[in-house]
Amino acid sequence: MRTKPEIQLPVSNVFIVLSVLAALFLNGLPWEGVALMLRPDFVALVMLYWCTHKPVRVGVGLSWMVGMIADVADASLFGQHALAYTLLAFGGVVLHRRLQMFDLRQQTIQVFGIFAMTYAVYALINWQVNGLVAWPYFLGCLTSTLLWTPLSILFQTMRQKKVDRNPT
């Protein structure tokens, strides 16, 4: 029994916006204690996915605007998330062709560096403002990286369409 081939449907702007809004909602959930330290940055995860898969439509400008919204929603230092997401988007757009060459396991290794850079920006800003670096929050970098494969599979599955080569 042969499975039907699958093709990727074009991504609508509505789907991109809804995925970013869902990520903002997940970031806004009330995390506490150890869960707060392990919390992945869902917005960074979604923005990196779209910057690597649709770099013409989602890039540095949109990441900056989403970062400003995240700053307001999180009541954090204004511009902190915007700077981090802008650097993340730059890395995603610049490396999008390289990441597309790899399978998901190898992509996960590559995106770890981009997420580490994003969390380093958070750490540097926190160090400048508060005088200390919150090292345990780098665990969120690991959980964000571990969620790269499930998120990629989820988004690709939502965009796949079965093709019937023998229409009757």
Per-residue pLDDT tens for 7-39? Answer: 777 888 999 999 999 999 999 999 888 888 899
- Three-state DSSP state, 160: strand
Per-residue pLDDT tens for 125-158? Answer: 889 988 888 787 789 899 999 999 999 999 988 8
* Residue 117 belongs to some domain of the structure: yes
* Residue 1 belongs to some domain of the structure: no
Domain extent at residue 123:
6-160
* Residue 167 belongs to some domain of the structure: no
**Residue type for position 74:** D
Average pLDDT over residues 49-70: 94
Which pTM was predicted?
0.88
* Residue 66 belongs to some domain of the structure: yes
* Residue 168 belongs to some domain of the structure: no
> Which band of pLDDT confidence, cut at 50, 70 and 90, is reported for residue 122?
confident
Continuous H helices in 42-165? 42-53, 60-74, 80-94, 96-101, 104-130, 139-146, 148-158
Note whether 97 and 111 are within 8 A (CB): no
Tell me how many domains the chain contains.
1
* Residue 47 belongs to some domain of the structure: yes
